[in-house]
Amino acid sequence: ASPKAKHYLLFILFFTGPDGEHNWSSNYPFCGGAFQSPIDFQTQLLRYDPNLPPIQVQNYNLATKEQLTLSNNGHSVQLSLPSHMYISSLPHRYSAAQLHFHWGSSNLLTGSEHTVNGKRFAGEMHVVHFNSDKYPNISMAVDKHDGLAVLGVFIEIGEFNPAFDKFFKYMNGIKYRDQKIQVTAFNIHALLPARLDEYYRYDGSLTTPPCYPSVLWTVFRRPVTISRKQFLALATALYASYAQESTTVPLHGNYRKPQIADNRVVLVSFKDGLHGILSAASPFQRKQVIQKLLVGDLADLADEGLYQLLPKLSPQPGKDKKLKKTKKQGHWSQATQKKQWSKNKVQSNTAFDTDKGICFVSLEENVMHKLERYHAKGLMVEALREVVFPELNLRSYLYCRSDLDLQTIRKLIQGRSRDEAAELEQSLAEAMLKKMRRQINQHRNPNMKTTIGHPQATIPKDFNSALTYHRPQRAEWED
């Protein structure tokens, strides 16, 4: 079958079977890899970051003389966007490319991809941008680690929304796959929530094949509303099949199930309504941790209670005195630490140079080439995960969007003293045990306040399996 036919069959399977997405990794190995999206925004994953600025978008109010292309690509409704629209509140300029939707069906009014403590909204809109400071177009950016930034908007059934009707009213013109029409441009800003200062932020992936982990996600906290009639225009009027085909395939239920968190945390720009939410550690503190893992005394690091390695853990009672003593005796000044980090930073030819770009297509080709030598193509997903995850975890950790994973720590301390490394791993295991015990005690405390809008997540029944602090294997993360 041709690549186009395979791609089409893949999405037909997505729509017609609840387990269709499990087959994605057969043709697109990154779909079974690391840092996948969407995820469930569980309360225990959230970290408040007071430095997150309100989202600022430029040139979103398009002139009516412009024309936009509205299309049915077989798996969603897509509206093209001009690149002079961009996000100006991120480290790079991210220019707009398109927006599209995910939704349920007429019988299932829940079809958002991201969820909040298990709650699924009626639908979700994604406004896709690419890093135009570094890449000339979205095709060149899509497989780079810093290539894409997506604004996610939850959609609820409620009041009629005139902004969405600017193109929803043309759905009959794109009923079948690959049909396109031109629509008059309008104010795209009107599709976004009123509050652009409240959002979730994390590192993730495309939610459809090829699932490259190249997306900086910003999902707004407040949903927008559309009427039931508008929702049904999405859920009932469209087909994933071509117009000339005798058998029609409805286009609905095009959302991916939540993926594992992969030690990621979710930064949030809001604190109200969240009980006892932790704050994000600073990037500089995290650089100190990496510096110690690379060239510092691992035994001392283990003795410090690992409160910096695992920011979810607050310093334990009785540790404060010892930590203060350590700071007096062995900690450098900030200026010295910055100098040492720059001096001893991992060399650019290693996997852990955070200034070096990651091209996921190139990684895939290199891994495939090596596996073919050993007739082991079936191991592609596992091998890619092993190669890609530590680097993604490290980068995300340094930007405060992940906790360090044991697999990453092991990579960082390769070549260090075996005794020191063993002591550090033992301390990590003990720290995880203490964390789980605290979670259990909190869960059993009947006086604990609930989180407004974010119910307390339940603690897993099998505590022992959670304490092993291991990397999930493929069979474990599949839904």
Looking up tokens 């910096």, which residue turns up?
308
- 84 a catalytic residue: no
Pairing type for strands 77-80 and 67-72 reads antiparallel
Find out whether 128 and 138 touch, Cβ atoms under 8 Å. yes
Residues 6+ apart with CB under 8 A from 439: 44, 459
CB 204 within 8 A of CB 138: no
Catalytic residue among 7, 22, 75, 100: 75
CA distances for 40 relative to 225, 257, 361, 454, angstroms? 21, 9, 27, 11
C-beta separation of 199 from 269 below 8 A: yes
Q: Which residues are catalytic?
A: 75
